[in-house]
Amino acid sequence: MADSLKHGAKRVVLVGPMGAGKTTIGRLLSRELGFSFCDSDSEIEARCGADIPWIFDVEGEAGFRERECGVIRDLSQTNGIVLATGGGAVLNESNRAHLKEGAQVVYLKTSVEQQFERTRRDRNRPLLQNDEPLKVLTEIFKIRDPLYSEIADVVIMTDKKNPKTVVKQILDQILVSN
């Protein structure tokens, strides 16, 4: 199936902010493509033997980012996968280069309001466990939106679209049409 991706790409990488749906859409998309699904956050947790809130607590964001770099480097060499990244993976320049290499990169673009709605009940995102998550999402978006755009081959707006629709729109754009 990898041969059917545009530009001979060997994997699909999903980038975008917290709540864009990278984990949810990535899993569904992998099934459609017959690819394995990888999520960089789950891989970090598996390697560390602890969850992300624990890693942030004990090692700080810097410790988490270091672990993230190792995982991104390794998974960017794995073929036949859909890789859902964490929202901050694009901050690091070598991560951006690794993610782009041999991949179709899909930016799941999402308004800050929609990000907020999709993340407000979840306690597993340390950066949003404060009094002003909407403000944090807004500030983060300003910094990261250009970085997502920089490496994206395809940009899909996800607001008010159900996951199935998003997956279909991604497939329409990443596959070579015969």
Ligand X SMILES: O=C(O)C1=C[C@@H](OP(=O)(O)O)[C@@H](O)[C@H](O)C1
Nearest 5°: the CA angle 5, 74, 13 is: 35
Q: Is residue 163 near ligand ADP by the rule CB under 6 A? A: yes
Please report, as ranges, the residues that interact with ligand X according to CB under 6 A: 18, 22-23, 41, 52, 86-88, 125-127
**Residue 144 counted as an annotated binding residue:** yes
Q: Which regions of 16-172 does DSSP assign to beta strands (E)? A: 36-39, 81-84, 103-109, 154-157
Residues 29-88 that bind ligand ADP (CB under 6 A): 84
Q: Is 133 helix (H, G, I), strand (E, B) or coil?
A: helix
**Residue 86 counted as an annotated binding residue:** no
User: Residue 88: phi, psi to the nearest 5?
Assistant: -100, 5
Tell me which of ligand X, Mg ion, ligand ADP, none is bound by residue 118, counting a contact when its beta carbon lies within the kind-specific cut-off of 5 to 8 angstroms: ligand ADP
Q: Which of 5, 9, 24, 90 binds ligand ADP (CB under 6 A)?
A: 24
**Residue 63 counted as an annotated binding residue:** no
Spacing of C-alpha 150 from chain mean position: 14
Residues 113-132 that bind ligand ADP (CB under 6 A): 118
Residues that constitute the known binding site: 19-24, 41, 65, 87, 125, 144
